[in-house]
Structure 1
Amino acid sequence: MDGLLSFFYPWTKAIHIMAVIAWMAGLFYLPRLFVHHVEQGKHTAGLNPIFVMMEKKLLRVIMNPSMIATWIFGLALVFTPGIVDWSMAWPWVKAGGVVGMTGFHMWLAARRKDLASGNNRLTGRQYRIMNEIPTVFMIFIVVAVVVKF
């Protein structure tokens, strides 16, 4: 198995990076949809169901599959011999960032359900602020992986 993981390492890494990019795009875009949903959806007739449909499709068709692929191919990289030195800080920082990003993903999924059911309690401004969270996680993860401290 170790030889197989090593053989496919470049492909595993490439697919992991593509999955991360797709996941991040969704993590950045969904809170922006929430901002517009909250601020425009109730004021313009017919917009609310459109926002609900867009948010649901973004989460289910793009974000969920790309998060799952990120985890699968990321774990494959972790188990590839010689890739991760767990005595260093960087893999722990990255792992913490990925777990945090996954938690944020789940929080977004819960807010999507709130918006769809009419139970939203957050403002557009609060969603704008929350939109910065994936950027913070991204900074920690990229610096940890590239600098390898």
Structure 2
Amino acid sequence: MVGFLGLAYPWVLAAHIIFVIFLMASLFMMPRFFIYHHQAALGSPEDKAWIEREARLKRIIMNPSLIIVWVLGIALALNTGAFSQGWFHVKLLLVLILSGYHGWAVGYAKKLARGERPMAEKTLRLLNEVPGILVAAIVVTVIAYGPHHSFG
């Protein structure tokens, strides 16, 4: 692929994948943090420690990774003309849903920081599976139907 990225294309692609990995790690960690946080007594030192852990995860890994993934992903899509390809529309929809999940996680961390516990641990355990399912669907879409698809 040449496009406007030229020889930078493989480096931009590599950076995109690296930051997707960082983002996914944080999206797997945060709901697990919520489950442990729920087990801490409100106002306890442990509760305060979980609030700080969640805030650091958001500030240092989750939010920057999401922004970088989107910026690099859009650059890659524009470079390859992906916006005109059907597989990309599916990927984009799945990425939008995953980004919405990120938003939910950030919002839920804020609720926990305010002392609210609106969900049961069982629900949080189920929601913990969402990013894995979404990333699997994204990978299958890109590999099976994406730009290098050659299976008919």
Letter in 2 for 1:59: K
The answer for the alignment partner of 1:69 in structure 2 is: 68
1:25 equivalent in alignment to 2:46: no
Secondary structure of the residue aligned to 1:8 is: helix
User: Does the 8 Å contact 1:52/1:115 carry over to 2?
Assistant: yes
- The Cα shift of 1:124 comes to 1.3
Letter in 1 for 2:136: I
Q: 1:43 to 1:68 in 2, by over 3 A?
A: closer
Q: 2-side partners of 1:85 and 1:147: how far apart?
A: 17
- TM-score, length basis structure 1: 0.90
Q: 1-side partners of 2:68 and 2:38: how far apart?
A: 30
Deviates most, 42-51 or 137-146: 42-51
Secondary structure of the residue aligned to 2:41 is: coil
User: Does the 8 Å contact 1:93/1:140 carry over to 2?
Assistant: no
The total of aligned residue pairs comes to: 145
Q: 2-side partners of 1:55 and 1:118: how far apart?
A: 14
The answer for the alignment partner of 1:47 in structure 2 is: 46
Tell me which of 123, 128, 131 is aligned to 1:131: 128
Deviations 1:22-48 (A, max 9, x none): 000000000000000002x11894200
User: Does the 8 Å contact 2:35/2:125 carry over to 1?
Assistant: yes
Letter in 1 for 2:75: A
Q: 1:140 to 1:56 in 2, by over 3 A?
A: same
Equivalences for 1:70-109 in 2 at 5 Å? 70-81=69-80, 84=82, 86-88=84-86, 90-109=87-106
Q: 1-side partners of 2:78 and 2:133: how far apart?
A: 26
- TM-score, length basis structure 2: 0.89
The answer for the alignment partner of 1:146 in structure 2 is: 143
Secondary structure of the residue aligned to 1:104 is: helix
- The Cα shift of 1:7 comes to 2.2
The answer for the alignment partner of 2:37 in structure 1 is: 37
Gaps of 5+ in 2: 147-152
Q: 1-side partners of 2:122 and 2:113: how far apart?
A: 19
Secondary structure of the residue aligned to 1:26 is: helix
Q: Percent identity?
A: 35
Secondary structure of the residue aligned to 1:80 is: helix
